[in-house]
Structure formats: C-alpha cells, structure tokens
C-alpha cells in the first residue's frame, strides 16, 4: 500500500529533507533577508539624505529637509487634547483597585503642582 508520508517524509505536503527542502529553505531565507533590507532602506532613506547634506556642508538644505519631514509627520504635541487625556487617566486610576497611601500622596502632589 502507498503511504505518502513515509516516502517523502512530509508534514503538510512539504518535504523535510533533500534538495527540494534545501531549495525551499534557501528561498525562504533569501526572501526574508530581502524584505528586511527593503524595509530598512525605506526607513533610513531620509536619514541618509540628511547625513549626506551634513557631510557636504549644505546646512540650509539639511534644515529645510528636516522642517519638511517634520511638517509631513503632522503630529504635534499641541494636537493632543489635555482634558481628554486627563479624563481618561482619571477614569483609569479611579477604577483601579491599587489605591493606597502612596497613590493618594502622589495624586495630591500632582494636583498641587498642576
């Protein structure tokens, strides 16, 4: 009787030894390495340009690029609604069962300072 698993020694219809297995693992390793390199190059693209401008002593262009990338990010500290954050953390800590003398003293210090 023909048994698929014993002839090819597979799990989920994939060989676990031999030339096909070695080719598959090499291709997988190469694919993962290439993906990591592409992601890293995309993340470091602006940093490399800024470094190049700094080494060429083109400070005006460097600062313009920094300002432009800062504007593109669009996240400023002013965008955070302080009242919303205060309400969120008030609710979180009020519902907590960890209220003790230390947390009450810390809350008093924070309230008196801010």
% of the chain surpassing 70 pLDDT? 71
User: If you average pLDDT over residues 55-84, what whole number do you get?
Assistant: 74
Q: How far is CA 56 from CA 30, 31, 41, 52, 53, in A?
A: 35, 35, 21, 6, 5
Q: State residue 23's pLDDT score.
A: 92
Sketch the domain layout of the chain as residue ranges: 1-76, 80-114
- pTM as predicted: 0.40
What is the spatial distance between Cα 62 and Cα 51, in angstroms, rounded to a whole number? 8
What is the spatial distance between Cα 99 and Cα 105, in angstroms, rounded to a whole number? 10
User: What three-state secondary structure class fits 29?
Assistant: helix
Residue 102 pLDDT level (bands cut at 50, 70, 90): confident
**Phi and psi for 18 in degrees, rounded to 5?**
100, -175
The pLDDT tens digits of the residues spanning 6-19 come to: 555 545 677 788 88
Candidate from 2-11, 16-25, 34-43, 62-71 with smallest mean pLDDT: 2-11
User: If you average pLDDT over residues 76-81, what whole number do you get?
Assistant: 61
């Amino acid at each position: 009787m023909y048994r698929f698993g014993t002839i090819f020694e597979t799990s989920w219809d994939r060989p676990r030894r031999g030339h096909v297995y070695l080719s598959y693992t090499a291709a997988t390793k190469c694919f993962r390495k290439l993906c990591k390199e592409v992601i890293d190059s995309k993340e470091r693209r602006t940093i490399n340009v800024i470094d190049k401008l700094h080494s060429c002593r083109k400070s005006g262009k460097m600062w313009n690029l920094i300002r432009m990338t800062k504007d593109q990010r669009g996240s400023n500290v002013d965008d955070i609604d302080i009242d919303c954050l205060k309400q969120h953390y008030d609710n979180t800590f009020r519902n907590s069962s960890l209220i003790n003398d230390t947390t009450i003293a810390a809350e008093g210090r924070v309230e008196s300072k801010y």
